[in-house]
């Protein structure tokens, strides 16, 4: 089944929609449509940003693989300073809390474009399944290249913005097209999965063998990501409202693809050449902050900045106390301003 959380005060019909099996995109789309007003009314600092006047647009486009991809854009009232292309994390969607992040960036004058990867959020594909990380990166490049072509703001500076797994995707997008972007903001990037999150060597070897026959099975042992990623107790409770996020054990092929991707990225840090802002919580137990430090030290870019936040966990923009979230946003906006305003 999908979401098992029981929300007080909602109808049996709505609860039934939320409890449906989310493996199929139709169930995810029904759940999001039925629940979105409740999601956006929760008591979270990200949804206290004034957004009257923002131009917001949702769309579905069929990609070259025949899958329908969901994307959304947020544009300020005046001409944006730049366009930020958002890459969400593992299991996530560019709806819900990413909505708040995008509104915040747009309130400071930045256009934001985000997409759900195949198999995630409102895009078609088996929920939470990544048969090939390189193919996923190609899907992101294909979609954002199309957006750049048709967006009336194509002549503006463009920045990649990656959270967690999205940070790894952003780095791979850059490596495939080194000169296509004006910079990247990486929030707790998945350059290496924390050791406590990786199965023991023997288990990994067994999973490699099983993946050949049962790639989509949800069998990989892991800890509760929501519990590990979020520091603020109240915000930890609010993670349940992300009703179309993937919350099950990772599928075997997905887990192996993520592990292989991080190992490859770790070997290629020297090839990162674009302007970089890297942000990481020192107490992150999901992705390893020491590798963000290695990225900063080894990247060939002459324009790079690393900020490590004392006591902070993985979800810097969603799961920290309000004052930390505002501090991180302040650092992001300052960096973007420095790289867009001459």
Nearest to 274, CA basis, from 183, 338, 186, 194: 183
What are the Cα distances from residue 191, in Å, to 40, 77, 166? 31, 36, 10
Using an 8 Å Cβ cutoff, are 124 and 25 in contact? yes
Task: Report the Cα 194 to chain-centroid distance in Å.
Answer: 17
* Structure tokens, 334: 């300052």
Q: Which of 44, 280, 314, 339 is catalytic?
A: 314
Q: Which of 73, 164, 245, 292 is catalytic?
A: 164
Helix (H, G, I), strand (E, B) or coil at 279: strand
- Return d(Cα 150, Cα 153) in angstroms, integer: 8
Residue 284 catalytic?
yes
- Gyration radius (Cα) of the chain, Å: 19
Consecutive H or E run containing 171 = helix 165-176
Using an 8 Å Cβ cutoff, are 167 and 87 in contact? yes
Q: Which of 245, 284, 288, 292 is catalytic?
A: 284
Q: Using CB atoms within 10 A of its CB, is residue 33 exposed (0-12), middle (13-18) or buried (19+)?
A: exposed
Residue 164 catalytic?
yes
Helix (H, G, I), strand (E, B) or coil at 278: strand
Strands 55-62 and 276-281: unpaired
Which residues have a catalytic role annotated? 164, 284, 314
């Amino acid at each position: 089944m999908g979401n098992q959380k029981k929300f007080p005060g909602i109808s049996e019909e709505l609860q039934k929609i939320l409890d449906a099996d989310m493996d199929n995109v139709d169930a995810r789309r029904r759940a999001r449509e039925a629940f979105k007003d409740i999601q956006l009314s929760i008591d979270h600092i990200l949804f206290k940003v004034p957004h009257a006047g923002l131009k917001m647009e949702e769309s579905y486009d069929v990609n070259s693989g025949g899958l329908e991809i969901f994307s959304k854009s947020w544009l300020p009232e005046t001409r944006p300073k730049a366009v930020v292309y958002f890459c969400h994390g593992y299991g996530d969607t560019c709806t819900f809390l990413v909505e708040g992040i995008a509104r915040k960036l747009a309130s400071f004058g930045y256009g934001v474009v985000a997409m759900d990867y195949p198999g995630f959020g409102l895009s078609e594909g088996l929920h939470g399944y990544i048969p090939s990380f390189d193919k996923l990166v190609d899907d992101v490049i294909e979609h954002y290249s199309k957006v750049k072509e048709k967006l009336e703001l194509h002549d503006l500076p463009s920045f990649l913005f990656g959270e967690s797994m999205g940070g790894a995707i952003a780095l791979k997008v850059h490596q495939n097209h080194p000169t296509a972007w004006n910079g990247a903001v990486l929030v707790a990037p998945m350059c290496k999965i924390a050791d406590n999150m990786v199965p023991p060597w023997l288990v990994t070897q067994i999973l490699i063998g099983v993946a050949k026959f049962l790639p989509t099975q949800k069998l990989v042992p892991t800890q509760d990501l929501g519990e590990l990623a979020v520091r603020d107790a109240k915000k930890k409770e609010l993670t349940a409202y992300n009703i179309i996020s993937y919350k099950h054990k990772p599928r075997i092929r997905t887990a192996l693809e993520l592990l292989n991707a991080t190992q490859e990225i770790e070997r290629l840090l020297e090839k990162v050449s674009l302007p970089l802002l890297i942000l990481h919580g020192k107490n992150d137990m999901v992705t390893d902050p020491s590798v963000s430090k290695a990225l900063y030290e080894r990247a060939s870019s002459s324009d790079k900045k690393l900020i490590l936040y004392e006591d902070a966990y993985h979800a810097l923009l969603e799961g920290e106390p309000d004052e930390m979230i505002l501090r991180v946003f302040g650092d992001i906006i300052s960096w973007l301003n420095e790289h867009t305003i001459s």
